[in-house]
């Protein structure tokens, strides 16, 4: 029984939950007028559905990559085969049906049918990312676009709809910029598997463009996303009060965005004149810092969102 529970938790990638909390909380705090919405059953049903969808994506990715993971991530492959491929497939169907059912109930409670469409699209995109024939993770630039949509932009828009019948333009732009910034960082993580993905025929964006050009695209994404995120939140001062907490939070966010850009910029400069083998080795070492930068960006953005929420008149 203990091993069964361990396997079930492994394929749901609980280590990612800490980075997913800000993905939910940032749009909710930016969109909420007060805390009243947080005390409703519908809101917490939406929270459960939000994390259920992420778990669905993690499980289907583990199932699809079970043989590819046998070398680099053996614990995930072991969990899939330990539970049984058929049993995991049944779990996915149950999770998908439950997600659709909850979305219908939420749409009925909140009178927002768009929630059904968002959940359905998220399930389909999560499936299309990992599973043939589309398998978007292996289709070059679509790998980048799909992850941006299914991990960041889509979930943030879904979260905003839980507290607002029509999310503001500011929240939509924040979701787009935040997703671009974070996906730029995620690309470094993808790049460290360059040889493994190439050998397995997994044509990620980095494999399709080449390692050095792929890192350059990641750097551009971080620059554009970071500048846009800071600028959009700064312009939002029109609608909220300036507090000391806000200034501190915005300073932290700007420094973190600048730090992420400098980190990937230094990485790009380091591999510029190296041969492919040495460059991949450098990227692998840099990849160890990806979780740190993802977390720093996520929680500094959350800090700004909290500052704006607390400064907003009730």
pLDDT in tens, 114-145: 999 999 999 999 999 888 888 888 888 999 99
CATH number of 168-314: 1.20.120
21: nearest Cα among 45, 51, 43: 51
Q: At what angle do helices 276-287 and 211-235 cross, to 10 degrees?
A: 40
What tokens were used for 44? 């917490």
* Burial degree of 273 (CB within 10 A; 0-12, 13-18, 19+): exposed
In this predicted structure, the answer to whether residue 287 has a pLDDT above a threshold of 80 is yes
Binned at pLDDT 50, 70 and 90, residue 314 comes out as low
In this predicted structure, the answer to whether residue 72 has a pLDDT above a threshold of 80 is no
Q: Could you give the CA distance from residue 25 to residue 241 in angstroms, rounded to a whole number?
A: 20
Predicted structure pTM score: 0.93
| The predicted structure's pLDDT at residue 239 | 65
| The predicted structure's pLDDT at residue 238 | 65
| The predicted structure's pLDDT at residue 71 | 76
182: nearest Cα among 143, 217, 142, 226: 226
Instruction: Mention every residue, 6+ apart, whose C-beta is less than 8 A from residue 78.
Output: 7
Tokens 């400069």 map to which residue?
269
Average pLDDT rounded to a whole number, residues 105-111: 96
| The predicted structure's pLDDT at residue 176 | 97
Q: Could you give the CA distance from residue 245 to residue 242 in angstroms, rounded to a whole number?
A: 8
Query: What sign does the dihedral 225-228-234-235 (CA atoms) show?
Result: negative
Q: Could you give the CA distance from residue 261 to residue 293 in angstroms, rounded to a whole number?
A: 10
pLDDT tens for 218-266 read 999 999 999 999 999 988 766 666 788 889 999 999 999 999 999 999 9
- Domain locations in the chain? 1-20+35-167, 168-314
Average pLDDT rounded to a whole number, residues 61-71: 82
**Three-state secondary-structure class, residue 16:** helix
């Amino acid at each position: 029984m203990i091993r069964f529970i361990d396997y079930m938790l492994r394929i749901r990638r609980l280590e990612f939950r800490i980075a997913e909390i800000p993905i939910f909380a940032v749009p909710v705090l930016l969109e909420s007028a007060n805390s009243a919405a947080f005390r409703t059953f519908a809101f917490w049903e939406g929270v459960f559905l939000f994390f259920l969808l992420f778990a669905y994506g993690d499980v289907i990715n583990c199932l699809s990559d079970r043989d590819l993971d046998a070398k680099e991530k053996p614990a995930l492959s072991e969990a899939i085969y330990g539970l049984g491929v058929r049993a995991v497939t049944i779990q996915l169907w149950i999770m998908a049906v439950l997600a659709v059912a909850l979305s219908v109930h939420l749409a009925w409670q909140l009178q927002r049918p768009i929630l059904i469409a968002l959940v359905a699209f998220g399930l389909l995109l999560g499936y299309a990312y990992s599973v043939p024939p589309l398998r978007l993770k292996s289709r070059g630039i679509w790998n980048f676009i799909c992850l941006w949509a299914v991990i960041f932009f889509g979930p943030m828009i879904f979260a905003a709809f839980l507290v607002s019948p029509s999310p503001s333009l500011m929240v939509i732009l924040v979701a787009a910029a935040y997703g671009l910034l974070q996906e730029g960082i995620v690309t470094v993580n993808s790049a460290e598997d360059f040889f493994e993905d190439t050998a397995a025929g997994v044509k990620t964006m980095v494999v399709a463009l080449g390692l050095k050009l792929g890192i350059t695209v990641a750097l551009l994404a971080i620059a554009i996303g970071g500048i846009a995120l800071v600028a959009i939140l700064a312009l939002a001062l029109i609608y909220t009060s300036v507090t000391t907490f806000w200034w501190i939070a915005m300073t932290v966010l700007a420094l973190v965005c600048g730090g992420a850009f400098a980190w990937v910029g230094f990485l790009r400069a380091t591999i510029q004149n190296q041969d492919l083998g040495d460059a991949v080795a450098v990227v692998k070492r840099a990849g160890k810092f990806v979780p740190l930068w993802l977390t720093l960006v996520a929680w500094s953005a959350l800090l700004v969102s909290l500052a704006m929420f607390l400064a907003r008149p009730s």
